[in-house]
Amino acid sequence: MSQPSSATPEAGDQDYIDVPNPNGEETDNSDNNNNKNDNNRLHVAIVGGGITGLALALGLSARGVRYTLYERASGLREIGAGIGLSPNAERALRAIDVRAHAVFKRVAAPSSSGGDWFEWVDGTTDQLAFRLSTRLVEPEGNVRFGKAVDRIEGWGVGEEDGDDGKVVLRFKDGTTEEADVVIGCDGIYSRVRQLLLGEENPASYAAYTQKFSFRTILPMEQVLTHSDIVHRIKTRVMFNGPGAHIITYPIGAKADILNVLFVISEPSPPSSSSPSHPQSTPISKSQEKRKPAVAKASKSEAIEAFKSWHPTIRSIVDLLPDAEAVDSDETKALRWDIYDMHDHPAPYYTRGGVCLAGDAAHASTPHLGSGAGFGIEDALTLATVLEAVDKEIIDAGEGARVTGTVTDDDDNDNHGEPEVVIKDESSTNTREQVRKVKKPDLCRAALAAYNDVRYERTQWLPGASREACGLFQWEGEAGRRGRDDPAWFGEEITRRFYHIWNYDIDGMVRDVLAQFRGRVGSNMPVGVGKGRGEGISGHLSM
């Protein structure tokens, strides 16, 4: 299995977005069909400006679908943990928008070894999200910063008298916006998820996994003074052992920085009174003062965790900066507590005209390096099916889909919006050969199709990632077997990675369009999708 390749932005790369659009034509994207003059067109609200939200914004923009992105922060900064994109994620990003893929390739500099399965973005900054936002998304003028969602109303069901099927977003600053569809891409602490699933539902909150990580960067010249570890730092290496593992890889245009990640298991749940640890149970509404998931690292914790390891590993640990002695945010070691949704998974991703994507839907631990990649897959799926909705609306407005007549319902008030008229070829009754599908129905059909296509794969990841960490840290029977049988260990890890990497992105696109068209073109309830247990039909109309 090929090792990850390191990545970092090149110095001085300020002017590199002169990239053809997905159709190979040069266009001015300043407007890009995102003006709101045509109120009949689909309008999508994206909540959250992380990788998933930005990828979705770019995918919609490339397909001419109107959107507005709402981000709670006052602006995006080059901070974060960095991400790695595997082949499936890179294929999905290219399908979303070739400009986005060009940004990624510019930020991600592959290693000299070649043939790598992973390409990694700088492990100390969220370069990819920052560049996608500042170079591609923000210039389109559809990003609203400082917008924290407080409540959602309407839900896009459109069944009550006078309800036009719009979803209403109420923000904490007192403002209100509406859209046909709302996509919650607001991450692991998703407010949209809390509102969609219920604030007292354990699945609305991520849970601490009893694992945390230290992240830091070290100047390579400092590391090279330690002769016992020089031979270990020239490439990407994972050191496995009891209760912990370490990943190191060089980054920078000249590979002059060593990125170091320590992942450590806690032996027992921390005390709720401990100021440095989050709760080990899901965060409930009553816990108003959530403990921070990121804090300065304690070097003593790392020393304690690796005290019985090989001297080479202890040499790496010794290079960690002391938190008390470091003032610079760029060089200090940070502790990141690791959360996921494995214990309390979301039973479904959609409700009316609202759905979840990325970490908001299926937050996973980082041990298989695929959280961001799965979010990009989600974004492509949504961009594809929402484009199909927009085309249906356009065609209905032009009369292209009117294939019959309906008399009794012709005077129904649809608030001035076009109705898509679908011919039912299976019916022998002339009066039943056509049926009207309003915009809210199209939106619900699209989101239900997205749910059905994405649910099984994305729900697999949190459990598989935990299993991988167990193998890395020799936990349980499987971990001990992996420790004693390297060949078996390699097969187990490779099997999980290949399940991720070899995913049929083109097939995913075909599947979601087929699901959508099947729902719209049949008498199947358009807003019912699959989920855990008995499904989610009971949650989609209220």
Structure confidence by residue, pLDDT tens digits, 127-163: 555 556 655 666 667 889 999 999 999 886 655 544 5
Which segments of the chain have a pLDDT < 50?
1-37, 79-81, 109, 111-125, 161-162, 270-281, 284-290, 325-326, 330, 399-416, 423-427, 430-433, 533-542
Say what the pLDDT of residue 270 is.
46
Say what the pLDDT of residue 442 is.
93
Tell me the pLDDT of the chain averaged across its residues: 75
DSSP 301: H
Say what the pLDDT of residue 214 is.
86
Structure confidence by residue, pLDDT tens digits, 371-419: 989 999 999 999 999 999 999 988 876 544 433 333 334 444 444 455 5
Q: How far apart are CA 360 and CA 356, in angstroms?
A: 6
Structure confidence by residue, pLDDT tens digits, 256-312: 788 888 999 987 554 443 333 344 445 544 443 345 567 777 888 889 899 999 888
Residue range of the domain that includes 360:
15-204+343-390+443-539
Q: Helices 51-62 and 371-397 meet at what angle, rounded to 10?
A: 30
> Do 121 and 177 sit in the same domain of this protein?
yes
- Which phi and psi angles does 149 have, rounded to 5°? -70, 135
> Do 158 and 287 sit in the same domain of this protein?
no
> Do 373 and 335 sit in the same domain of this protein?
no
Question: Quick one: tokens of 277?
Answer: 């640890």
> Do 224 and 311 sit in the same domain of this protein?
yes
Specify burial of residue 31 (Cβ count, 10 A radius: 0-12, 13-18, 19+).
Answer: exposed
Say what the pLDDT of residue 493 is.
93
> Do 26 and 101 sit in the same domain of this protein?
yes
Query: Does a structural domain hold residue 510?
Result: yes
- Residue 255, helix vs strand vs coil: coil
Helix (H), strand (E) at residue 467: helix 439-472
Q: Tell me, what CATH number does 314's domain have?
A: 3.30.9.30
Q: Tell me, what CATH number does 509's domain have?
A: 3.50.50.60
Neighbours of 98 (CB within 10 A): 18
Say what the pLDDT of residue 133 is.
60
> Do 158 and 299 sit in the same domain of this protein?
no
Task: List, in sequence order, every residue forming a beta bridge with 211; answer none if it has no partner.
Answer: 265
> Do 289 and 159 sit in the same domain of this protein?
no
Tally the domains of the chain. Answer: 2
> Do 326 and 185 sit in the same domain of this protein?
no
Q: How far is CA 483 from CA 211, 369, 477, 488, in A?
A: 20, 21, 10, 9
Q: Which long-range contacts (CB under 8 A, 24 or more apart) does 419-425 make?
A: 420/392, 420/393, 420/395, 420/396, 420/520, 421/396, 422/520, 422/521, 424/521, 424/522, 424/523
> Do 298 and 385 sit in the same domain of this protein?
no
> Do 458 and 518 sit in the same domain of this protein?
yes
The answer to whether 56 and 383 have CB atoms below 8 angstroms apart is: yes
Say what the pLDDT of residue 249 is.
80
The answer to whether 379 and 453 have CB atoms below 8 angstroms apart is: no
Question: Quick one: tokens of 160?
Answer: 């009550």
- Residue 69, helix vs strand vs coil: strand
Buried b / exposed e over 328-358, threshold 16 CB at 10 Å, is: eeeebbbbbbbbbbbbbbbbbbbbbbbbbbb
> Do 31 and 66 sit in the same domain of this protein?
yes
Active site residues: 215
